[in-house]
Amino acid sequence: FGYFRNAAEALKICHQNGMIHRDVKPSNILNMRVLNRVKLIDFERAKITRPDMGLVLDVSKGYRGMHGTIPFMSPEQFDAPQECDETSDVYSLALSLYQVMVHRHPQLPEYEREILSNVPDTTFADKVKNNDAVSISDIEPRVRNKKFADGLLKFLVRDKDARVDATPTHFI
């Protein structure tokens, strides 16, 4: 879990500096084992807001009007990408951990990660926006830590305002 703990810390630094990544996923978390650190990469969809400097910079037009990679997007990224904030990034980080652990999507557990690309974008969006996440312990019985499994679900709540303590430091 150190890998995701370090990713959460990197995300915290981004958020403290007014940056929303909007494309957090496993392939954008670079594990530099030799240096014992993690780096977030691929900021081409990021949004930077610095009210203290009068700066709002949205570096991406998005793909089909969406910001992010569909299997790792938060529900609000489908309908209201302008409402993406820190909680959206944390949702995507929790989703990344979930998928790395069990190779399934919490709202589409019937599909293995390798075949998620076969799910049409509209079906994917509908499932993510309308289905609650399935507990990781329900999919993978070897995950016996119920507290961890329940905690992870708190970051995968569909309503971004209901995500409990959705800050990276509370993540792990």
Angstrom CA distances, 122 to 109, 127, 144, stand at 17, 9, 34
- Can you tell me which residue has the tokens 């203290």? 52
- Residues catalogued as catalytic: 23
Quote the CA–CA distance of 35 and 164 in Å, as a whole number. Answer: 32
Quote the CA–CA distance of 172 and 124 in Å, as a whole number. Answer: 27
Q: Residue 9: name the closest of 163, 165, 161, 172 by CA.
A: 172
User: How do the residues of the chain divide into helix, strand and coil, expressed in percent and rounded to 5?
Assistant: 50, 15, 35
Tell me 75's DSSP state: H
Residue 22 and residue 60 in contact, taking contact as beta carbons nearer than 8 Å: yes
Taking the alpha carbons at both ends of the chain, their separation in whole angstroms is: 8
